[in-house]
Structure 1
Amino acid sequence: MTEGVDRLTTGLIHHPYTAPAEFDALPPGVFKASSVFFPSVAALRERRWDDKSGYTYGLHGTPTTFTLEARLATLEGANHVLLAPSGLSAITLVDMALLSAGDEVLLPDNVYGPSRSFATHELKQWGIACRLYDPMEPASLFAALTPQTKLVWLEAPGSVTLEFPDLRALVREARAQAPQAVVALDNTWGAGIAFNAFDLGDGLAVDVTVHALTKYPSGGADVLMGSVACRDDALYRRLAWCHSRLGLGVGANDVEALLRGLPSLALRYAAQDAAGRRIAAWCQRRAEFVRVLHPALPDSPGHAHWAELCSAAAGLVTVEFDPQFSAAQVDAFVDALRLFRIGWSWGGPVSLAVPYQSKAMRALATPYRGTLVRLCIGLEAVEDLVGDLGQALAVVQGTIS
């Protein structure tokens, strides 16, 4: 009996049946593998993964991941894409692939907080210096560039405060003063839709973009993933080999979810863009807010740069409360929201709200005096979201004696 079971097991594992190849449907196949089989030892030794001409090991790619990478390259206007477990891991991959002891990296002062934290902790421990510049003043970048600068990070717009920099001027400064530096952009807000980072006009372009696919490409608030995109072949190889040595990989089911979300990306982005503009306009009419930050608003910092470059804007709005409202009162406003949930991230169907203290986020001078609240607009009806904001403001007004 045991021998029969053993042979049955072997037969099930090494079953000769192969499904016919003519199956065709919209969803790509989901391939899960660690080991990849080779027809011969010669094939094992000759097959390459770095140019995506073949498969060597699950961590180096499957038909499923290669498909997503190709579609994201089209979205970003790039030639090459690598997938990472999160947006932050995509950022740290670029840092580790391109920097070594004695180098310097430049970050905008309004950069995504975890990116700055990685630079001021891990990179510093590895002998890599970090310098900050004011992204709204190209002269500030000029002053920060040195012969040791090997990587310049851009962010458009800035994290939380949403200032939109003059990307062309910043790239032009970096190219002229530090030709040895790679210029990288966190393009999560633009999502490959608002503008093409690899064609900024006037012959200018960034070298690398990173994208938190967790946000708009997923759209479901249920996937963690990031991407790194570039056009240059040699730069791609530097990134790809570091990616391989770090053992970065993503799950096939998460890739499947991204592939399912991509066809509706432009529609969702447009809907959240439109809703964000309406809510920003409503917030401008409220006396509780002394400033409303949204690149499409004429008085938002960097609006002219946004208008010159972009065709759309993401569904993010940041409001600055009048300084008469204490941080505790602003927290009470956020707590009173019913449809807006309290949580990090954005790009999903549910609207989110988070309070921030600008002084804790910045090293350079900041114009913001009141507490900030970032609103991430989901897919709810705008009228319902406006009503929610109104009732939460009424709660706060009731606390003023």
Structure 2
Amino acid sequence: MTKEKHTKQTKIITSGRNKDWNKGVVNTPVYRASTVLFDTLDEMYNAVKNGSENKLAYGRRGTPTQFALQEAIAELEGGHATALYPSGAAAISCALLSFLSAGDHLLMVDSVYEPTRHFCETILKDFGVETTYYDPMIGSAIGTLIQPNTKILFLESPGSLTMEVQDVPTLCKIAHQYNILTFLDNTWASPINCRPFELGIDVSIQAATKYIVGHSDVMMGTATTTETLWPQLKARSYALGQCVSPDDAYLAHRGLRTLAVRMNQHERSASEVATWLQKRPEVDHIRHPAFESCPGHEFFKRDFSASNGLFSFVLTGVSKTQLKHFVEGMTLFKMGFSWGGYESLIIPAFNLSKIRSATPWPKNSFVVRLHIGLEDPRDLIADLEAAFSRL
């Protein structure tokens, strides 16, 4: 069987293991470097000339440790090449800055990750880029929002906190009719549960901090793109000074090797917990893409190969004080930002109406987002049961 026909689980293990970089070592060593020395001028100039790929030239351009991770992510997501950034937010902002100019118009999904919205309303606004937010379930009606200067359509599927799954192929098809680039925050799927480039995406972004690293101890972001767009993404990300340490790249690549088995466990445990939650009388509905009650569930079934441990549920008819009692005092679920590690987390969303503009959220409904870690789901259910008694 050729490498191209290997399953995703096998590719997770074999990707980025280039003998030129690891010299036969199973895990690519950590190459720490700033200055790289050359014997001749020609050798030095060839290392930094335009278009050179994966050549040692200067520490900020990468070492074999970063090159191995970049190759692995690009292969798993199905893109041409990958750029690395010091956080997911950096990956989003630098990818956008690589292709937007003053006077451009950006279409941004309304359910987007809050720091992305903040970036649009501050940095991009100051740079003369206009942003219009759209309903994540808009589908083919996206064409009504396209302006002559629209440059990028940005998707996040599922959406942050409220988990709407978008009709990615339809949105991409319409955008491309107008020569608009399509960006996707693909963090929820990780590099293995969605093939963004087969759906029509031009730039796929990951907060590698989450499932790729998988252990809540490294910040990193990735942006993977096509052969056509790669030179611009690469050059402008370098000009913006973006790089990651080889130690962090090593930890991310090591985390990647166990991604499939971790995701399988996250998925099974989350499904068990969500099934229990949807039977609770206090829960209005579950927002888990694999459940019918989640907006866009039909698109999840079509476009994703599996789910994970992150989902939300909606409580109605409760006060902020009651919700506070619900989330405080948990034994296993801890309050904290991010997700994707081995631990379970809980986050209540008190003010969704402040970060939604195209699709206002009902004031009397509260979203609680859970990340189901690798603990025994029976223990997690017991922790939630105690929380409902406090509620």
What's the TM-score once normalised by structure 1's chain length? 0.89
Residues 366 and 280 (structure 1), Cα distance of their counterparts in 2 relative to 1, 3 Å cut = farther
* Contact 1:184/1:210, CA 8 A, preserved across alignment: yes
Larger-gyration structure (1/2):
1
Q: How does 1:10-49 map to 2 (within 5 A)?
A: 24-48=24-48
Aligned partner of 1:353 in structure 2 is: 346
Aligned AA (1:341):
K
State how far apart, in whole Å, the 2-side matches of 1:35 and 1:246 are.
Answer: 19
Of residues 84-93 and 291-300 in structure 1, the stretch that sits farther from structure 2 once superposed is 291-300
The structural deviation recorded for 1:129 is: 0.3
**Given that residues 218 and 261 in structure 1 are in contact (C-alpha distance below 8 angstroms), is that contact kept between their aligned partners in structure 2?**
yes
SS in 2 for 1:30: coil
Superposed displacement of residue 245, structure 1: 0.8
Whether the 8 Å contact between 2:214 and 2:342 is mirrored in structure 1 is: yes
Residue of structure 1 equivalent to 2:220: 225
1:145 corresponds to which residue?
Answer: 146
Q: How does 1:316-327 map to 2 (within 5 A)?
A: 316-323=310-317, 325-327=318-320
Aligned-residue offset at 1:367: 5.3
Tell me the secondary structure at the aligned position of residue 83 of structure 1.
strand
Which residue in the other structure is 2:7 paired with? Answer: none
Q: Quick one: higher RCO (CA 8 Å, sep 6+), 1 or 2?
A: 2
Instruction: Give the C-alpha shift of residue 51 in structure 1.
Output: 3.1
1:263-317: per-residue Cα shift (whole Å, max 9, x none)?
Answer: 1101111110111111111110011111210011112111111111112112112
Q: 1:334 to 1:23 in 2, by over 3 A?
A: same
What amino acid is aligned across from residue 354 of structure 2 in structure 1? A
Q: Which residue of 2 aligns with 1:79?
A: 80
Tell whether the 8 Å contact from 1:138 to 1:173 is kept in structure 2 after alignment: no
**Aligned counterpart, 1:187:** 186
- 5+ residue gaps in structure 1? 1-20, 397-401
Counterpart-to-counterpart distance in 1, 2:198 and 2:99: 22
Contact 1:83 1:249 in 2 (8 A): yes
Counterpart-to-counterpart distance in 1, 2:252 and 2:52: 22
| Runs of 4+ more than 6 Å apart | none
Tell me which of 364, 389, 399 is aligned to 2:384: 389
The amino acid across from 1:41 in the alignment is L
Alignment correspondent of 2:307: 313
> Aligned equivalents of 1:93 and 1:86: distance in 2?
11
Superposed, which structure 2 residues align to 1:1-400 within 5 Å? 24-48=24-48, 50-176=51-177, 178-179=178-179, 181-200=180-199, 205-233=200-228, 235-323=229-317, 325-356=318-349, 357-366=351-360, 368=362, 369-396=364-391
CA apart distance, 1:342 = 0.3
Q: How far off its partner does 1:354 sit? A: 0.7
Distance, in Å, in 2 between the alignment partners of 1:306 and 1:388 is 29
Q: Deviation of residue 42 (structure 1)?
A: 2.3
How many aligned residue pairs are there? 368
> Which AA in structure 2 matches 1:184?
F
Counterpart residue type for residue 260 of structure 1: R
Identity of aligned residues (%): 35
Give 1:140 deviation, angstroms: 4.2
What TM-score, normalized by structure 2, do the two folds share?
A: 0.91
* CA-to-aligned-CA distance 1:112-152 (integer Å, 9 cap, x gap): 11111101111000111001111201244211111101111
Cα distance change, pair 61–78 in 1 and its aligned pair in 2 (3 A): same
Displacement, 1:320? Answer: 0.9
Could you report, residue by residue, the CA deviation over 1:147-170 in whole angstroms, capped at 9, with x for unpaired residues?
Answer: 101111011101110011111111
Of 41-50 and 131-140, the range deviating more from structure 2 = 41-50
Q: Is the 8 A contact 2:54 2:67 kept in 1?
A: no
3-state SS in 2 of match to 1:328: helix
Per-residue CA deviations over 1:316-375 (Å, capped at 9, x if unaligned) read 12111122x101211211112110000011110110001103212211234544111100
Mapped contact 1:132–1:144 kept (Cα < 8 A): no
Amino acid aligned to 2:197: F
Look up the equivalent residue of 2:294 and give its one-letter code.
S
Letter in 2 for 1:353: I
The answer to whether the 8 Å contact 2:110/2:359 transfers is no
RMSD, aligned α-carbons: 1.5
| 8 A contact 1:133–1:140 mirrored in 2 | no
Task: Provide structure 2 residue ranges, at least 5 long, that are not aligned to the other structure.
Answer: 1-20
Query: Counterpart amino acid of 2:120?
Result: A
